[in-house]
Amino acid sequence: MRQVNLRSIDLNLLTVLQILIEEQHVTRAADRLNMSQSAVSRALQRLRVLFNDPLLVKGATGYSLSRRALSLSTELAVTLQSISNLIQEPEFDPYTARSVIRFAGTDLAAWIDMPVFMQTILAQAPSVKIEVSTIPADYFAQLAKGQVDFLVSGIEPTKNLQHLHSYKLGSSELMILMGKQNPLAAQTINLQQYLQAAHGYVSITGKGPAFLDSYLANIGLKRNVVLKISEIRSVVDYCEKTNILFMLPIELISDIVKERDVVQKPLPKELLRPSVNFYLYWHARFHQDPLHRWLREIIVSKSLRGVV
């Protein structure tokens, strides 16, 4: 049997052959294919070389199919349909989907109502399991490794951007948080007081300085940082029991400060009033995945706040 190098075959020729077999006429085949008659004739010549057979035999009353062409007619249609099915995306039905989807981010609860989200999953995709992690980690590395499907974060990545997609969930103003016993709690804080006070910050990844410290360094200023922690919920305890100041997005602290002995204060007027953008991130490998696309639509519809 003659060996065929598939890389040298133009699959478009098989489409032409199918129409030629059906029409048994070059001109009619050209009309159906929206090609010129000469182009179809050239394709037929290439097909004859490929199959080592005349395929269409011209007689006194027109063309007729060769024995090889007759044997190919059914098999060719099935083969082309199989190729089409291989390429065509299957219809997605969330009810039959089976997967484990992992969410991560210490800021997750502030932007996505996960219990309401789960109601939708249980009703419409009962075989999809959800895992949620709010333990501080290098989430972007986890996205890259496929350990996490979705990340909610106010940290904007600085590398591998071409492999990430994102959706802006919203923005949050930064506020100073301190205990009510703090001497500064009853004052309008000026720049000097702010810089001299003891500061703490939450580090999600454990790497690098807080973004505010980078901002201050760029304008020639420095604050007195005495504490770095990884768990945002412990911030309130430090505020109540020490005079340490924290600066956090107001959306993240609105729930954890309820009925606690803390106050929120604006930044000194000498500083810009920065805000933090929060994004839903996912890796490019899942961008066209039908289940992920469906989940992203649900996430956006169940987000707690609109884009601002």
Domains of the chain and CATH, by start? 6-87 (1.10.10.10), 97-308 (3.40.190.290)
Let me know: does 149 contact 298? Beta carbons within 8 Å: no
Amino acid at 175: M
Chain segment 76-135, per-residue pLDDT in tens: 888 888 887 777 777 889 999 999 999 998 777 667 778 888 999 999 999 999 999 877
**pLDDT bucket at 36, cuts 50 / 70 / 90:** very high
Name which residue leads in pLDDT, 15 or 9.
15
Q: Model confidence at 308, in pLDDT bands (50, 70, 90)?
A: very low
Question: pLDDT by residue (tens digit) across 196-232?
Answer: 999 999 886 666 667 788 888 888 999 999 999 887 7
What pLDDT score does 79 carry? Answer: 86
Rounded mean pLDDT, 183-201: 94
Q: Can you give the pTM of this predicted structure? A: 0.64
Q: Which long-range contacts (CB under 8 A, 24 or more apart) does 223-227 make?
A: 223/194, 223/195, 223/197, 223/199, 224/195, 224/196, 224/197, 224/198, 224/199, 225/199, 225/200, 225/201, 226/198, 226/199, 226/200, 227/198, 227/199, 227/200, 227/201
The pLDDT of residue 2 = 57
What is the pLDDT, as a whole number, of residue 273?
64
Beta bridge partners of 151: 104, 281
pLDDT confidence bin for 160, thresholds 50/70/90:
low
pLDDT band with cut points at 50, 70 and 90 for residue 169:
confident
